[in-house]
Amino acid sequence: MNPDDLGKVDLRLLVAFNALMEERSVSRAAERLDLSQPAMSRNLQRLRQLFGDELFIRQSHGLSPSPRAEQLHQMLRPLLDDMLRLVAPVKVDPSQLRRTFRIGMLDLFSQIIVAPLLDRLKETAPHVRLKIVNLETYSMESLASGQLDFILNLGDEAPANIHSKVICYEEPVCLLRRDHPLAAGPMSLEQLVGLPFIHFWIPGFNEHRQLDQLLFGEDLSRDVMLETNNLMTAMNALCDANLAMIAGKRVFRVLPRSQELVALPLPFSELEPVAIRLLWHRRYHADVEHQWMREQIAGLFHTLTDSI
């Protein structure tokens, strides 16, 4: 017999045999497995055929196992215990977890979460390590190929084979330096389109999708004077020149030089909040260690942005 031949064996019979050995009674074994007594009697007949042995002898005080049954039970019980461990839900002990998680994210988000996440890992999972990389145009391909475990980014629905969790939503606002002529607000639509803008370019997210479509509907457009994916370049241009930039109402407060800025509501009631998402490939969706880590990231980021 080889492992493929086990497909011919009804493994439920082995469970029934174990119950019969431990209960020494057909009726009690049937009750334990939520079966009828005739059904358990039929299982006993099939077991006798499977093992070619009488297995049990009926006596006044119940069933008495044969020497073959005793021998089988000694071998079977450890196997059943192993099978229980095989199908039981895997639990993570963070204190014993040894793994490096690779995360692609914006500098903006790393300033919010990396230090608090490291502090939490020191307390709960001291052997876990992080590799944080800048978000790039190829980051989604890196996620798909397994070079990244997570991406933390703004965005809409995830592409095929990528799972995502919305951590929070951010309301877009217009950032200006505090001494800007329009800093006192409120800002009109005409004033908005009259500003020279910085477009802080975020891989995988199109800032123009909502705002500029709304402007296009009004036969208007923005003057984007500077495009960059460098956070310090954007912040220095924003603070040292009379430029404007679209950012999140809460998260902008962690930006470098944010104390030099004001956030004004955009003059659009139709503008929807933007989702901040944690993304991962489906290959890791059922990985319990991965599940634990994404719970840490999502829960901590949500808590931190709520407190901003």
Q: Is residue 155's pLDDT more than 90?
A: no
Instruction: Give the residue carrying structure tokens 């460098």.
Output: 230
CA 190 – CA 222 distance, rounded (Å): 10
Q: What is the pLDDT of residues 184-200, one digit of tens each?
A: 989 999 999 999 999 98
Class of domain 3-87: mainly alpha
pLDDT of residue 286: 87
Q: What is the pLDDT of residues 108-140, one digit of tens each?
A: 899 899 999 999 999 999 999 999 999 888 898
pLDDT of residue 160: 83
CA 278 – CA 113 distance, rounded (Å): 13
pLDDT of residue 86: 76
User: For the chain, where do the domains classified as CATH 3.40.190.10 start and end?
Assistant: 96-162+279-307, 172-272
- pLDDT confidence band for 208 (50 / 70 / 90): low
List Cα–Cα distances, 291 to 90, 184, 189, 224, 284, in angstroms. Answer: 11, 45, 44, 41, 8
Q: What is the pLDDT of residues 39-87, one digit of tens each?
A: 999 999 999 998 999 999 988 888 999 999 999 999 988 888 888 777 7
What is the CATH topology of the domain spanning 96-162+279-307?
D-Maltodextrin-Binding Protein; domain 2 (3.40.190)
Q: Is residue 216's pLDDT more than 90?
A: no
pLDDT of residue 62: 84
Q: Is residue 1's pLDDT more than 60?
A: no
Q: 34: which 2 tokens?
A: 């939520």
pTM of the predicted structure, to 2 decimals: 0.71
User: Per mean pLDDT, which range of 86-95, 98-107, 122-131 is the poorest?
Assistant: 86-95
pLDDT of residue 158: 75
CB count within 10 Å of CB 143 equals: 23
Give CB contacts under 8 A, 24+ apart, made by 118-122: 120/296, 120/300, 121/296
Q: Is residue 209's pLDDT more than 70?
A: no
User: For the chain, where do the domains classified as CATH 1.10.10.10 start and end?
Assistant: 3-87
E strands, 5-55, in order:
none
What is the CATH topology of the domain spanning 172-272?
D-Maltodextrin-Binding Protein; domain 2 (3.40.190)
